């Protein structure tokens, strides 16, 4: 399958031409898609891969021995090998396919949880996505283990000093599970440092890489993680496919998660024995076409270069922060302009305008953002707010999209808060109106 845009520069017209969705207009405006932290758009090569697989190679994996079955298995296992290379895993057997990052984290919580007992401690942080909170709450309730968490500093970073002073990680700590990058604050957490601390006490380190793996070059050994969860749809892949990477030595010690076909060794009515990893954790027919599509997405990202993508996002994010910081009434959450420990998700509040209303008016001008608590309600509580608006970029994001967004924010603010029309020194040059006329 050809990769028509290999080597295209992030944000370039050539690269964007490979994403059919950017031909869309929304409410007569060009689409400015700033919701990639929610889900990414898909390049034609990934769309073609799904169609190609289902059209020509469709069969079940592992169980079907005919020609198509062999082809499907090769496609599925090939994807496993691609994902292993993408995150710097020691072998393909360290890659477990799941349906999404939430399932990967539930797998981690349930299998690690099997060894927990009252008095043990699990450590997470207040900036986690609900998918890295709720599974641990379940496990804590079931086992009697105690759930503790990192607080954040006023500027939205992990509060390591406070954690050290209260011995947050100690000899009772069995699991530390932490986001690599916050989906709200954009903060890049010092995962390696926390992992080293956790390992001093023999705790297992789980990293939620949902916002990290799609955006930064990934090396599981540099991260210091024992388990790393991420999802396909945020990295140009299809929905319905996620990954749990695990160190081989650890995966081998973990009990099964879901029971069913292909995860077994021998089944007898009196009891069963189980397959080695990764099949041990992949009960039932997996999302085969989706795994294949994710492998193609990983190839595509590699062809552009993850370092190149990260550099583009940092530039775009700085520009977005600059435009927002000069907009009266905006308060940015998380590390501000110029911070190097910051990813491409930028959340903010706007004086007098609820995020739900802001999202709606931006949508009216073709700008897709997310408004709400972004599945991180405890973090919003911690920040003393109910909700925020989030603009998030990716390799295809352009400065023009950021301009369309920032001008629409001013427009929405003036609509709800007329006092800014006279006081605001930041009125848009009506670029959005110009765009609407088709320029």
Catalytic residue annotation: 375
- Figure out which of the listed residues 39, 363, 378, 431 binds other proteins, where binding follows CB under 8 A: 363
Tokens (6 digits) for 185: 């604050």
Nearest approach, Cβ of residue 313 and other proteins (Å)? 27
Dist CA 53 CA 220 (whole Å): 29
Tokens (6 digits) for 164: 């050290």
Query: Quick one: 27 or 91, whose CB is closer to other proteins?
Result: 27
224-243: contacts with other proteins (CB under 8 A): none
Query: Quick one: 201 or 416, whose CB is closer to other proteins?
Result: 416
Place of tokens 């984290």: 105
- What DSSP designation does 35 have? B
CA distances from 227 to 94, 176, 196, 316 (A): 9, 10, 14, 30
* Residue 192 sits in the site that holds other proteins (CB under 8 A): no
Nearest approach, Cβ of residue 361 and other proteins (Å)? 6
* Residue 399 sits in the site that holds other proteins (CB under 8 A): no
Nearest approach, Cβ of residue 355 and other proteins (Å)? 8
Contact string 303-342 vs other proteins (x = CB under 8 A): ----------------------------------------
The closest of 213, 205, 169, 166 to 188, measured between CA atoms, is 213
The piece of 6-14, 149-157, 363-371, 420-428 that touches other proteins (CB under 8 A) is 363-371
Nearest approach, Cβ of residue 140 and other proteins (Å)? 22
How many beta carbons lie within 10 A of that of residue 285, not counting itself?
13
Nearest approach, Cβ of residue 386 and other proteins (Å)? 5
* Residue 364 sits in the site that holds other proteins (CB under 8 A): yes
Dist CA 204 CA 120 (whole Å): 12
Query: Quick one: 14 or 351, whose CB is closer to other proteins?
Result: 351
- Figure out which of the listed residues 69, 416, 424, 436 binds other proteins, where binding follows CB under 8 A: 416
Torsion of CA 429, 431, 437, 439, to 10 degrees: 120
* Residue 372 sits in the site that holds other proteins (CB under 8 A): yes
* Residue 415 sits in the site that holds other proteins (CB under 8 A): yes
How many beta carbons lie within 10 A of that of residue 65, not counting itself?
9
The alpha carbons of the chain give a radius of gyration, in whole angstroms, of: 23
Nearest approach, Cβ of residue 387 and other proteins (Å)? 5
Query: Quick one: 303 or 434, whose CB is closer to other proteins?
Result: 434
- Whether residue 348 contacts residue 333, with contact meaning beta carbons closer than 8 Å, is answered with yes
* Residue 357 sits in the site that holds other proteins (CB under 8 A): yes
Dist CA 79 CA 83 (whole Å): 6
Tokens (6 digits) for 390: 């989030």
- Whether residue 382 contacts residue 407, with contact meaning beta carbons closer than 8 Å, is answered with no
25-44: contacts with other proteins (CB under 8 A): 27
Q: Compute how many residues bind other proteins; rule: CB under 8 A.
A: 18
- Whether residue 165 contacts residue 193, with contact meaning beta carbons closer than 8 Å, is answered with no
- Whether residue 353 contacts residue 414, with contact meaning beta carbons closer than 8 Å, is answered with no
- Figure out which of the listed residues 361, 382, 424, 431 binds other proteins, where binding follows CB under 8 A: 361
- Figure out which of the listed residues 107, 216, 220, 387 binds other proteins, where binding follows CB under 8 A: 387
Nearest approach, Cβ of residue 24 and other proteins (Å)? 15
The piece of 72-80, 208-216, 371-379, 428-436 that touches other proteins (CB under 8 A) is 371-379
- Figure out which of the listed residues 360, 423, 427, 434 binds other proteins, where binding follows CB under 8 A: 360
Nearest approach, Cβ of residue 434 and other proteins (Å)? 18
Place of tokens 């193609």: 296
User: 23-38: b or e for each residue (b if 16 or more CB lie within 10 Å)?
Assistant: eeebeebbbbbbbbbb
User: How far out from the chain centre does Cα 289 lie?
Assistant: 21
Which residues of this chain interact with other proteins, rule CB under 8 A? 27, 354-357, 360-361, 363-364, 371-373, 377, 380, 386-387, 415-416
């Amino acid at each position: 399958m050809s990769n028509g845009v290999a080597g295209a520069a992030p944000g370039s017209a050539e690269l964007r031409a490979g994403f059919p969705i950017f031909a869309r207009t929304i409410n007569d405006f060009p689409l400015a898609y700033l919701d990639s932290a929610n889900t990414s758009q898909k390049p034609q090569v990934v769309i073609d891969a799904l169609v190609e697989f289902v059209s020509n190679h469709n069969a079940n994996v592992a169980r079907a021995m005919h020609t198509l079955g062999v082809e499907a298995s090769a496609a599925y296992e090939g994807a496993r090998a691609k994902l292993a290379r993408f995150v710097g895993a020691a072998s393909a057997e360290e890659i477990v396919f799941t349906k999404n990052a939430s399932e990967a984290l539930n797998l981690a919580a349930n299998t690690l949880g099997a060894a927990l007992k009252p008095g043990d401690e699990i450590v997470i942080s207040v900036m986690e996505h609900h998918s890295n909170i709720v599974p641990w709450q379940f496990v804590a309730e079931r086992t009697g283990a105690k759930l503790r968490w990192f607080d954040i500093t006023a500027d939205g970073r992990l509060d390591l000093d406070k954690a050290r002073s209260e011995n947050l990680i100690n000899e009772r700590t069995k699991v530390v599970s932490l986001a690599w990058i916050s989906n709200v604050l954009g903060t890049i957490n010092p995962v390696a440092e926390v992992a080293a601390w956790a390992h001093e006490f023999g705790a297992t380190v789980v990293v939620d890489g949902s916002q990290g793996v799609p955006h930064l070059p990934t090396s599981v050994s540099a991260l210091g993680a024992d388990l790393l969860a991420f999802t396909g749809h945020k990295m140009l892949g299809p929905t319905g496919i996620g990954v749990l990477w695990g160190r081989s030595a650890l995966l081998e010690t973990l009990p099964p998660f879901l029971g069913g076909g292909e995860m077994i060794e021998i089944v007898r009515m009196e009891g069963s024995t189980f397959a080695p990893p990764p099949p041990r954790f992949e009960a039932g027919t997996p999302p085969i076409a989706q795994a294949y599509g994710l492998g193609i997405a990983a190839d595509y990202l590699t062809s552009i270069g993850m370092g190149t993508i990260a550099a583009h996002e940092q530039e775009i994010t700085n520009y977005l922060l600059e435009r927002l910081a000069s907009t009266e009434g905006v308060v940015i959450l998380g590390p501000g302009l110029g911070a190097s420990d910051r990813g491409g998700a930028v959340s903010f509040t706007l004086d007098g305008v609820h995020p739900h209303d802001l999202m709606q008016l931006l949508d009216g001008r073709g700008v897709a953002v997310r408004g709400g608590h972004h599945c991180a309600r405890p973090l919003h509580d911690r920040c003393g707010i109910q909700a925020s608006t989030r603009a998030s970029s990716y390799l295809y994001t352009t400065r023009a999209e950021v301009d369309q967004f920032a001008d629409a924010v001013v427009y929405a603010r003036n609509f709800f808060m007329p006092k800014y029309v006279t006081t605001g020194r930041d009125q848009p040059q009506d670029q959005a109106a110009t765009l609407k006329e088709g320029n």
